[in-house]
Structure 1
């Protein structure tokens, strides 16, 4: 049995993982999905990391998963807890000394998103959340997700990412092929450039843990010692 440490992105909370948690449990795994102190202007990345560390406690056989902005927190947690595996899910990949706010321009995100929007007729970056984020999530579930949205403080977004190098933890990247926030081609390039890895790809929007929890659980399970 592995314990999956699930770290949400901006404006989100631990609830976003609840369908995935059930799928992982059906495969014999435990999961921890804390709410980060995203709305607290006194909390930076160190406080985010400590929140996760406290939630994990003395659990072992850890697979740390970071979604979206959680890509800045997950490597710090994996390094602190000496995790077995680190997984970035449709996530930002930080470079040493890079702040989350600088990541967008440093990676060429804006150009990549505009180019993809030109190809798909404006679906990428669409301001309608049912089009841009939740297009494959059941409407009632998407509405509940939006009802639960939380503010994201700017406090952790300006300071540089504190690690001097990527942690010495086996790292995987999963992208959602139908993501209209982080285009698939953009993430393929970034994962290769910054991690030297080829992503595993599954169907799904940016909110893939709600739209395709079973497919996501199957890939995550395959990363464990008892996975298929």
Structure 2
């Protein structure tokens, strides 16, 4: 059995993963889903990685999973803990030395959003989070997620270069959400091969897939641990 180390995205908490955790634990796996430091504007990406490493403790057979902004933290953790697999779920893919604040323009994100918004009538990039983030999440869960929003990430973490000199030598997978209105699917279909040299797996879900399709996401995550 594996230990799944689940790293949340910007504004979120470890709670984001609770439905996926229940699925994985029911199958005999262990899970760790810490809430990363929030409200600390000098916290760095390394501080976030430190918090995850501390939460993992001495657990072994690790699958490190990062969602959204967690894509900047997950590779740091996977390298330090020598994970068996690294999974990015609708996540930002950093390049060595790239600050998260620069990622948006470096990747052509804004143009991708404008193009997709022109096709879907403005749903992509919409200011209403119930349209752009939680469109397929049960309303009660979406409301709870909104109430639990936290001040994360910090200004310091957004402006400092990503500290790794190269992508970690860990088997890497990417889960693309086909109905994502925050990161357009066409954007990641281009960026994932460019930056990781792999083809993403796809799931019929919006950006917050751990809340909308927890069983299907758990199926994918568990499958990655079966592949050498």
On whether the aligned pair clears a TM of 0.5, the verdict is yes
The answer on whether the counterparts of 1:27 and 1:221 sit within 8 Å (CA) in structure 2 is: no
Q: How does 1:184-195 map to 2 (within 5 A)?
A: 184-195=185-196
Offset from partner CA, 1:141-162 (integer Å, 9 cap, x none)? 1000000000122110001011
In structure 2, what is the Cα distance between the partners aligned to 1:41 and 1:105?
22
The answer on whether the counterparts of 2:89 and 2:176 sit within 8 Å (CA) in structure 1 is: yes
Secondary structure of 1:185's aligned partner: helix
In structure 2, what is the Cα distance between the partners aligned to 1:223 and 1:7?
17
Question: Structure 1 length as normaliser, TM-score?
Answer: 0.97
Moved more, 11-20 or 218-227: 218-227
Query: Residue in 1 aligned with 2:55?
Result: 55
Deviation at 1:81, TM superposition (A): 0.3
In structure 2, what is the Cα distance between the partners aligned to 1:220 and 1:150?
26
Query: Residue in 2 aligned with 1:174?
Result: 175
Query: Residue in 1 aligned with 2:207?
Result: 206
In structure 1, what is the Cα distance between the partners aligned to 2:63 and 2:38?
22
In structure 1, what is the Cα distance between the partners aligned to 2:87 and 2:227?
17
What CA RMSD, in Å, does the superposition of the two structures yield over aligned residues?
1.1
Deviation at 1:203, TM superposition (A): 1.3
Query: Residue in 1 aligned with 2:126?
Result: 126
In structure 1, what is the Cα distance between the partners aligned to 2:148 and 2:137?
15
The answer on whether the counterparts of 2:42 and 2:157 sit within 8 Å (CA) in structure 1 is: no
Q: How does 1:42-121 map to 2 (within 5 A)?
A: 42-121=42-121
Query: Residue in 2 aligned with 1:222?
Result: 223
Q: Which runs of 5+ in 1 are unaligned?
A: none
The answer on whether the counterparts of 1:123 and 1:180 sit within 8 Å (CA) in structure 2 is: yes
Runs of 4+ in structure 1 deviating by more than 2 angstroms, as ranges, are none
Q: Which runs of 5+ in 2 are unaligned?
A: none
Deviation at 1:226, TM superposition (A): 8.5
Question: Structure 2 length as normaliser, TM-score?
Answer: 0.97
In structure 1, what is the Cα distance between the partners aligned to 2:129 and 2:100?
22
